[in-house]
């Protein structure tokens, strides 16, 4: 839709990459939070190393940007007229 309205491929990438980064960072924070909460719930000890608190968000951002590359490729190769159902 944005391509049909005149957005550049770089702008599409920026929008999709930002969305992917925000979603993956949110998921990383939820995952780390759940692992901390579940430590007190279950009898089995869950040991989360301190390095996980900075490694997981970095890996999540990399995966998010990589996934957005697939979406950008698909969005930029689509026919802009098809976005309007024509």
Is the distance from CB of 11 to CB of 72 less than 8 angstroms? Answer: no
Looking at the whole model, is its pTM more than 0.85?
no
Mean per-residue pLDDT, 6-32? 81
75 to each of 8, 21, 54, 58, how far by Cα in Å? Answer: 11, 18, 32, 26
* Predicted local distance difference test score (pLDDT) of residue 19: 84
Residue 81 exposure: Cα atoms within 13 Å on the Cβ side: 1
Tokens 């599409």, residue located: 12
* Predicted local distance difference test score (pLDDT) of residue 80: 65
Lowest mean pLDDT among 33-37, 51-55, 73-77, 79-83: 79-83
83 has a pLDDT exceeding 80 = no
């Amino acid at each position: 839709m944005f391509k049909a309205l005149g957005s550049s491929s770089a702008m599409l990438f920026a929008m999709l990459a930002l969305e992917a980064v925000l979603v993956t960072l949110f998921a990383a924070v939820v995952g780390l939070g759940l692992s901390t909460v579940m430590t007190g719930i279950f009898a089995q000890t869950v040991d989360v190393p301190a390095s996980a608190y900075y490694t997981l968000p970095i890996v999540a951002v990399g995966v998010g940007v990589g996934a957005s590359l697939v979406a950008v490729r698909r969005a930029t190769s689509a026919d802009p007229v098809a976005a309007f159902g024509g």
